[in-house]
Structure 1
């Protein structure tokens, strides 16, 4: 039985919206006519539904050019190895994300968080294509331009299609950003650079990996940039911070023999 395709934008279907229920991470099917690609694939427990949905939309599995990982977090790519085999397709990722996926690394990918008694499998998957900033992926009659947008993770990618930017975990509609964590390889100065690049670009719409797509708005991006700029100097973010002015001044006071102001 065929389902009517629900295009979020021309050539773009988001599979959670298409399914009418949450599947986890946003999964974008980019329809190039003669072929298509998938941005992210989600987790093992939803892969059967994702594949059935693609079939119901009358997209032949053999026409999937590749499955692209926006980054290596387990909620985005746990099912990548199965998808590669079942779709008989290629996989693609940033080299730093590829290293984690090919080794089945569990800490940096958040597949395992020991302190919270959380653990899921992180199957090893070969990455066929390493993507770098400025690469162009041809999908039928479409062209996706690859952006390297590190910060959330070192291997975070975004993708430009006409006036659309598939922005990964960089920024969400509520001004939140993807998790900042030292165990995750997060880098706050890089994050700020990536957000400033998104803000300065002529993309009209941002399509994140979580939550709804939205019209790009400085009122969303600038508060995030301002907040992360402060984060660089806050002990809250541990080794992700650039420095901690309070501690630096405290050490100077100790050396100067100065007692605390009480």
Structure 2
């Protein structure tokens, strides 16, 4: 058996435990023998994770459920395989259910034609749906569900004491999960989710990619200001609320205003 390397009491991150990054962060949350997984990653790494769990002496029969933080392929492609191997259930936000049960390759970002990305997205049945404020118990441990949309409409975070398993909301370098209309991004909702994290008394953020880090209000402030700016920019197209430049352009066209520094040609 391998010695366990929890980052926090009752929380193991399987890449950190393995000593190598196999994909997105996969959190094993446990109390006594009962345990669950938050995300699973790609199908090709499921065997590695399951073998690691076996070597850590967690009984497969005590896996309570597999939880999806959201329905992006890099987090959930392996759900169907892991569910079968562990003979357990799957838990997700209601907004992720149709996408996962249909194996929707477009909304999960498994199919991006322009980048020649063509991944399988196996269908998987969702037994349990959770929403904001729900409590998932593992043994005597309570996991508080936060609905933190923005990156996707189904994005969940999970509070365990002073730790927030924060999904793709915010990373240690101030970056955020990709904003894309195809998988249900919402910039305004993203700002509100980031504000919620910033204003909370959570001490540690454990994201779905990259290292765990302290909840830093200054870092969150900088990111919030940047993301809020996207609401009035063309950078994310239809996800912006407005584009002030176009209002200026309408006014200049109506007034016949020439570009600054350019004189009208002689008749």
TM-score for the superposition, normalised by structure 1: 0.97
User: Structure 2 CA distance, aligned partners of 1:96 and 1:256?
Assistant: 47
Report what 1:183 is aligned to.
Answer: 182
Within a 5 Å distance, the mapping from 1:100-249 to structure 2 comes to 100-249=99-248
Give aligned pairs, total: 261
Say if 2:36 is the partner of 1:37.
yes
1:123 Cα deviation after fit: 0.3
Question: Structure 1: how far apart are the matches of 2:219 and 2:59?
Answer: 38
Structure 2: 5+ residue runs without aligned partners? 262-267
How far apart, CA to CA, are the structure 2 residues paired with 1:227 and 1:255? 32
Q: 1:181 Cα deviation (Å)?
A: 1.2
Could you tell me how far 1:261 is from its partner in structure 2?
3.0
| Alignment check: 8 A CA contact 2:33 2:58 kept | no
Aligned to 2:84: 85
CA distance in 2, matches of 1:31, 1:258: 66
Q: CA deviation at 1:24?
A: 0.3
CA distance in 2, matches of 1:21, 1:51: 15
Q: Counterparts of 1:184 and 1:88 in 2: how far apart (Å)?
A: 29
Corresponding residue number in structure 2 for 1:55? 54
C-alpha distance in 1 between matches for 2:107 and 2:8 = 33
1:259 CA drift (Å): 3.5
1:7-56 superposed Cα distances (whole Å, 9 cap, x missing partner): 11110000001111111000000012131110001111100010000000
Moved over 6 A (4+): none
SS of equivalent to 2:235: helix
Which shows bigger deviation, 247-256 or 53-62? Answer: 247-256
1:250 aligned partner: 249
Larger-gyration structure (1/2)? 2
Per-residue CA deviation, residues 118-176 of structure 1 (Å, 9 max, x unaligned), is 11100000011111101000110100010000000000000011101000000000000
Deviates more, 1:180-189 or 1:170-179: 180-189
Following the alignment from structure 1 to structure 2, what is the Cα–Cα distance between the partners of residues 72 and 186? 12
Look up the match of 1:97. 96
1:3: Cα distance to partner?
A: 0.4
Deviation of 1:258 (Å): 3.5
2:265 alignment counterpart: none
